[in-house]
Amino acid sequence: MAQLCLTTVSGNSMPRHFPVQGYLGLTPVHVEGIVQIRLDPDQKPIPARRLTVSVRAYESRRTGVSQSHALVDYSQTLWSKPQDQSCADIGEFQSPFKITLPKDVAGFSTANYQDYRTFWRVEATLEHAMAHRSETDFAKRFDLMLTRHDIPRFLDTPPLPQGPFVNSALPLQTTKPRAPVLHYNISTPTHAIGPTDLLFTSVFIRPADAAVTLRSASLLVERRLVLSEPDRPVSPPRSPPTSSRARALASPGAERTSPDDNVFAFGVARSPSLQGRASAAYPSPPPTSSDGRQKAVTTTVAAAQGAAFAHDATTGVWTKTISLQWPAAKGQSRWPVGETVKGVIGTVSFWVKVKVIVTSPSGTESIDLQPREIVVVLTSDADRRRAMEVSNIQADSTAEYTPPPYTAPAPAEPRPAAAPAFEWGEPAMARLPMSYSPNGAPRTAGSMSSSRVDPALRQRKGFKATLARLLGRENKHDRRS
């Protein structure tokens, strides 16, 4: 039986998450590995059409009818049949691959919201033509643990309501029946909030009745997941028959980047520009009820309490700033806090809700203020700085070495010629100056007179001569006896 294998470069065929190099949205991301086809000893080649490897970003839902939608698709064709044949045989096969996701690629971070999921995968697919198999593909896939490290565009502040009876500083107004009327404004961050970041929310309130007193305020952040029912099921697309280059799908929520769109470059929703009355100047979260076409799931992800307000007696405005620290990232937790998402199947948004307690002559009331949307990401400023430092170090280590320019050495100073070395032998001895011994015999500088012999050497020679005489006497004595 044939077996399709997708392994890493190091040969590990069963990783929990396929390894990648780079940081999504911050640097190019490289996915590389090896695709193999293994046959049993008695197995014949497989009639097939093509063998492809892909890196894709998906969104999927599990509530009701399970559906999936591909947001990004980068594919490479490793093997394909001849164009003049319907299929061709492929036997034992092995090929490395490397797919690079650009820095500005679309898609969301890997996250699981229980009913909704966004994820990345690397997939190897062999389209075969074997008659005894009902399915037409051999497939092998692994998940990629990718988290976006870029910063989305800021939320656009909706235009303030205009009118003769609208205060530009406090444009909003409560409408709760039989409760004091409050003119107020809320200030929330327009930049993205990430793990461990501080979320500051300021409230400015002026009661219509000066006898009303602000007691306290509380803040909570809701995550709203809205699942949509598309008109027709959407499923992951197949790789193009003849394409061997990487490509990206032009899909809603993935590639729409025009200024008139209400999504970020990687699919994060912006607040729509609304023109309305003072009580409806800002967008509200989607309704919690389901109408057969949508399902909304609300979860509280953070909360904080505020004590006494500060009161300005001159203007009559009560002010309170509440801060909370955004929950830390849970690593590869199954149910993360998540990030702001604008997809085709589902959307994830985060809303700040403030509740104030007021005291009036008629009693104490709890009044909810208009929710405000914020943008949430899965990386903090510290995470992005750390990723940038690592990417810079890797870039420096892989950069080509440029040798310094060549400089000719300075000419060496002339050195005096050394005296020629003697080689002992007849020619050298012949060149030595001649001298004469006291008895008139010629001698060279290399010879030594007996007066200049080392005393130790003379003593050894005398010992040897004495020993030779003694031995000679013993030998004579032996012959006589």
Express each pLDDT in 343-367 by its tens digit: 999 999 999 999 999 999 999 999 9
In this prediction, residue 293 has a pLDDT band, given cuts at 50, 70 and 90, of confident
Q: What is the mean pLDDT of residues 59-76?
A: 87
3-144 is a CATH 2.60.40.640 domain: yes
Are 17 and 25 contacting, i.e. CB atoms less than 8 angstroms apart? no
Mean local confidence (pLDDT), 378-398: 80
pLDDT tier for residue 263 given thresholds of 50, 70 and 90: very low
Q: What is the mean pLDDT of residues 32-50?
A: 88
- Do residues 97 and 34 touch, judged by C-beta distance below 8 A? yes
Q: Which of 40-49, 278-287, 392-401 has the lowest mean pLDDT?
A: 278-287
Among the ranges given (148-152, 339-343, 387-391, 396-400), the one the predictor scored with the smallest mean pLDDT: 396-400
146, 24 Cβ separation under 8 angstroms = yes
Length of the chain: 481
- Token pair for 120: 């990345």
Average pLDDT over residues 139-158: 83
With 60 as the cut, is the pLDDT of residue 52 above it?
yes
> Which has the higher per-residue pLDDT, 194 or 448?
194
Lowest mean per-residue pLDDT among 19-28, 70-79, 404-413:
404-413
pLDDT of residue 446: 45
Among 73-77, 166-170, 219-223, 320-324, the least confident range = 166-170
Residue by residue, what is the 3-state secondary structure of the chain?
A: CCEEEEEECCCCCCCCCCCCECCCCCCCEEEEEEEEEECCCCCCCEEEEEEEEEEEEEEEECCCCCEEEEEEEEEEEEEECCCCCCCEEECCEEEEEEEEECCCCCCCCCEECCCEEEEEEEEEEEEECCCCCCCCEEEEEEEECCCCCCCCCCCCCCCCCCCCCCCCCCCEECCCCCCCCEEEEEECCCCCECCCCEEEEEEEEEECCCCCEEEEEEEEEEEEEEEECCCCCCCCCCCCCCCCCCCCCCCCCCCCCCCCCCECCCCCECCCCCCCCHHHCCCCCCCCCCCCCEEEEEEEEEEEEECCCEEECCCCEEEEEEEEECCCCCCCCCCCCCCCEECCCEEEEEEEEEEEEEEECCEEEEEECCCEEECECCCCHHHHHHHHHHHHHHHHHHCCCCCCCCCCCCCCCCCCCCCCCCCCCHHHHHHCCEEECCCCCEEECCCCCHHHCCHHHHHHHHHHHHHHHHHHHHHHHHHHC
Instruction: Over range 367-380, report the average pLDDT.
Output: 94
Please say if the pLDDT value at position 121 is more than 90: yes
Q: What is the pLDDT of residue 163?
A: 59
Quick one: pLDDT band at residue 261, thresholds 50, 70, 90? very low
Q: Are 65 and 137 within 8 A, CB to CB?
A: no
**What whole-number distance in Å separates Cα of residue 227 and Cα of residue 362?**
43
All residues at 6 or more sequence positions from 158 whose CB lies less than 8 Å from its CB, including other chains: 271, 272, 273, 274, 281, 282, 283
User: Residue 25 above 80 pLDDT?
Assistant: yes
The better pLDDT of the pair 293, 303 is held by: 303
pLDDT value, residue 420: 52
Write out pLDDT tens, residues 402-442.
555 655 556 656 655 555 544 444 444 444 455 444 555 55
pLDDT band at 213; cut points 50, 70, 90: very high
Strand 93-101 versus strand 29-38 pairing type: antiparallel
Lowest mean pLDDT among 392-401, 421-430, 448-457: 421-430
**Position with higher pLDDT, 333 vs 150:** 150
At residue 260, does pLDDT exceed 50? no
> Do residues 180 and 213 touch, judged by C-beta distance below 8 A?
no
Domain boundary assignment for the chain: 3-144, 172-388
pLDDT of residue 412: 58
* Rounded Cα distance, 298 and 318, in Å: 30
Lowest mean pLDDT among 43-57, 381-395, 414-428: 414-428
The residue-averaged pLDDT of 23-37 equals 94
For range 4-30, the mean pLDDT:
86
- Per-residue confidence band for 63, with pLDDT thresholds at 50, 70 and 90: low
pLDDT the model gives residue 253 = 36
Quick check: 277 pLDDT over 50?
no
Q: Is the pLDDT of residue 92 over 60?
A: yes
**Between residues 230 and 244, the one the model is more confident about:** 230
The chain-wide mean pLDDT, for the chain, equals 76
Q: Residue 230 above 80 pLDDT?
A: no
Q: Look at residues 53, 54, 58, 55 and name the one whose alpha carbon lies nearest to residue 70.
A: 58
Whether the pLDDT of residue 271 is over 70: the answer is: no
Closest CA to 56 of 341, 346, 349, 254: 254
Closest C-alpha to 291, from 237, 340, 227, 197: 227
Whether CATH 3.40.50.11690 fits 172-388? no
Q: What pLDDT does residue 248 have?
A: 42
446 backbone φψ class: left, alpha, beta (φ>0; ψ -120 to 50): alpha
At residue 330, the pLDDT reads 73
Q: Which of 303, 304, 306 is nearest to 357 (CA)?
A: 306
